[in-house]
Chain A
């Protein structure tokens, strides 16, 4: 047999039917559902008199619209948001799928809840009507976002009509320097490849830097595969993965767990397997980074200065000019001179316990800058509970942060957590698009430690100076 990549192996293990032209029906092991991209899909089922084929493999949780303030038990003020969350409540009950309502302590961002509850396991196929489904690739699961028509298709048939993507390898060699985090790694990759560099590919991340990362860090890296244009990002499962999965509510139980691990261990890229594209970065070369523009590829080390449109070629010249205008920045300005008025820490990129620990390390015993609006939104109710147990929440509150309930919050600002026009935010989220965090709001993507540092100083700051 010819050598296979990790992606090839997961793909081959899930082809339920293949047509002559190579179009496949790919079987889906886990279907995650949230309130924004699913109502039309459930409505479609209802109209056609169809049911959910595998309700036991379907997991729903509201996250995008939910308020994160402590008084959210009183309900959602915005009528449209409330209708959307109510629709998910109704659909989950009517179709009999697994459900974590807003009132459940396990509720949170769908991509944090899935792994936390052990729904996401190595070697699986995982889909969700959300582009950041790529997160689950950290487990060696083929995971990607789908549109609402495909959500309906998976609900009805537990399969997706797919053609295979190409294989891309991103290797990060060596070791990271102090102050450099998985967020910097994933942004640095996008900076190197561009936001369309992964289009048409599934990326496998490998190399010593990836091997040394925790599951939380690996999820951060895979989460932003989509920002690099790739449908999915993958990391081969190893002992770190198995250790994380073990004992979680929906992970295989004792006895079956050992059998599962033996199976999971077959998911790695064979010696000699071919990739269509290979990118290699040296871990030692990666610095703490920040985005200056309105595309995640607009990445620079924090020590750099704001670029000029003339530094680019082709269509990027005009895009850079527009971005600088939108962001209110001047070419040549030092990134560390950019003043910040808002800090957002959370999201499916950086809303896990390890991210919160990194923030606590920077802000412990200190105060955020006067007038700074700084909020920490844990990725799930369980992350929040753990942070409270570890004493992190007290550190945050003493430093002046708002300590919120779980949800997507200001990552995409569908709930009341938004930037006002021209407000400038250091954000641990994943997209700095125009208007993403609020109409005319300005976003700088950073790691949790860098966001914490900016909250203290009021400017974009090199976290290494505070360590």
Chain B
């Protein structure tokens, strides 16, 4: 997995609440058997008309946000399905960090498996970053995972929380399966005990 350490980039504002995974990547794109190449279809139904032409006023179609690396979003971002195609599409587009007041659980977890940092902040701070993002490409935001700090374009510093284990994995680009395999003896022992106690499982 790609490491996430420090990011200095343009943030795109998407203040709509309850942006669901069907909006992030509509189901017609779930038929792939690959992980890559979904960025072009990120937010497809909001981003293109039926003929495939870009809808000019959609945020990621505006010249100033085309290279956005951060998304500042409304509450409950990523609700809905478990499709990891959602973070795959976000990462493939080039967005590495999403900031909101809350995220759906499964989406939140899926982000960390794909080198994306989801950050939860209180409403006032998200509002502040949303304003910053609305100022366009001149308003670059810095996200420092090691220090757990966001620096706005005018120098304000906002600290954020992140799970220590997830932070460690993101900083070092660690593969979960490899880490778990180090505890394989604990899994073996659990399985043997469970087999004795609950033989029907």
Which residues of A are at the interface with B, using a C-beta cutoff of 8 A? Answer: 16-17, 19, 21, 23, 25, 27, 29, 36-37, 39-40, 43, 48, 50, 54, 57, 64-65, 78, 80-81, 83-84, 87, 121, 123-124, 129-131, 133, 144-150, 152-153, 156-159, 161, 163, 165, 195-196, 199-200, 226, 229-231, 251-252, 256-257, 259-260, 263, 295, 297, 314-316, 318-319, 322, 412-414, 421, 431, 433-436, 439
- With CB as the reference atom, state the residue of chain A lying closest to B182: A17
A316, A413, A439: the one contacting B45 at CB < 8 Å is: A439
Q: Flag if A414 contacts B200 (CB, 8 Å).
A: no
State whether A229 and B104 are in contact (beta carbons under 8 Å apart), knowing that A37-B84, A121-B200, A196-B76 are contacts in the complex. yes
Chain A CB count within 10 A is highest, among B27, B165, B179, B181, for B27
Q: Kindly supply a per-residue 1/0 record for chain B positions 47-79, scoring 1 wherever the CB is within 8 Å of any chain A CB and 0 otherwise.
A: 000100000000000000000000000111001
New contact pairs (10) apart from A16-B191, A434-B20, CB-CB < 8 Å: A16-B186, A16-B187, A27-B187, A83-B31, A148-B35, A196-B102, A196-B104, A230-B105, A316-B17, A412-B27
CB distance from A213 to the nearest CB of B (A): 25
Q: Flag if A153 contacts B105 (CB, 8 Å).
A: no
In the bound complex, CA of A147 to CA of B81 (Å): 9
State whether A433 and B106 are in contact (beta carbons under 8 Å apart), knowing that A196-B75, A260-B200, A439-B45 are contacts in the complex. no
- B residues within 8 A CB of A318? 15-17
Interface residues in B, total, Cβ within 8 A: 58
The yes or no answer to B152 lying at the interface (CB within 8 A) is no
In the bound complex, CA of A89 to CA of B193 (Å): 33
In the bound complex, CA of A121 to CA of B186 (Å): 24
- B residues within 8 A CB of A251? 200
- B residues within 8 A CB of A436? 22, 27
Q: Flag if A149 contacts B110 (CB, 8 Å).
A: yes
- A residues within 8 A CB of B176? 149, 153, 161
CB distance from A13 to the nearest CB of B (A): 8
Q: Flag if B75 contacts A124 (CB, 8 Å).
A: no
- With CB as the reference atom, state the residue of chain A lying closest to B15: A315
In the bound complex, CA of A150 to CA of B113 (Å): 8
B23, B31, B103: the one contacting A81 at CB < 8 Å is: B31
In the bound complex, CA of A83 to CA of B31 (Å): 8
Q: Flag if A43 contacts B33 (CB, 8 Å).
A: yes
CB distance from A317 to the nearest CB of B (A): 10
- A residues within 8 A CB of B15? 315, 318
- A residues within 8 A CB of B194? 27
In the bound complex, CA of A130 to CA of B81 (Å): 7
Q: Flag if A159 contacts B201 (CB, 8 Å).
A: no
- With CB as the reference atom, state the residue of chain A lying closest to B83: A37
Contact residues of B between 156 and 201, Cβ < 8 Å to A? 163-165, 176-177, 179-181, 183-184, 186-187, 189-191, 194, 197-201
A17, A84, A257: the one contacting B183 at CB < 8 Å is: A17
Contact residues of B between 29 and 53, Cβ < 8 Å to A? 30-35, 45, 50
- With CB as the reference atom, state the residue of chain A lying closest to B163: A163
- A residues within 8 A CB of B186? 16-17, 25
A27, A147, A199, A314: the one contacting B110 at CB < 8 Å is: A147
B164, B180, B197: the one contacting A153 at CB < 8 Å is: B180
- A residues within 8 A CB of B190? 16-17, 27
- A residues within 8 A CB of B84? 37, 40, 129, 147-149
In the bound complex, CA of A23 to CA of B189 (Å): 18
Q: Flag if A131 contacts B177 (CB, 8 Å).
A: no
In the bound complex, CA of A263 to CA of B201 (Å): 12
Q: Flag if A147 contacts B106 (CB, 8 Å).
A: yes
The yes or no answer to B114 lying at the interface (CB within 8 A) is yes
Q: Flag if A145 contacts B26 (CB, 8 Å).
A: no
The yes or no answer to B109 lying at the interface (CB within 8 A) is yes
CB distance from B137 to the nearest CB of A (A): 24
Q: Flag if B105 contacts A229 (CB, 8 Å).
A: yes
State whether A147 and B113 are in contact (beta carbons under 8 Å apart), knowing that A87-B33, A130-B82 are contacts in the complex. yes
B18, B28, B165, B189: the one contacting A295 at CB < 8 Å is: B18
Q: Flag if B33 contacts A433 (CB, 8 Å).
A: no
In the bound complex, CA of A431 to CA of B177 (Å): 32
- With CB as the reference atom, state the residue of chain B lying closest to A81: B31
State whether A147 and B32 are in contact (beta carbons under 8 Å apart), knowing that A25-B183, A229-B79 are contacts in the complex. no
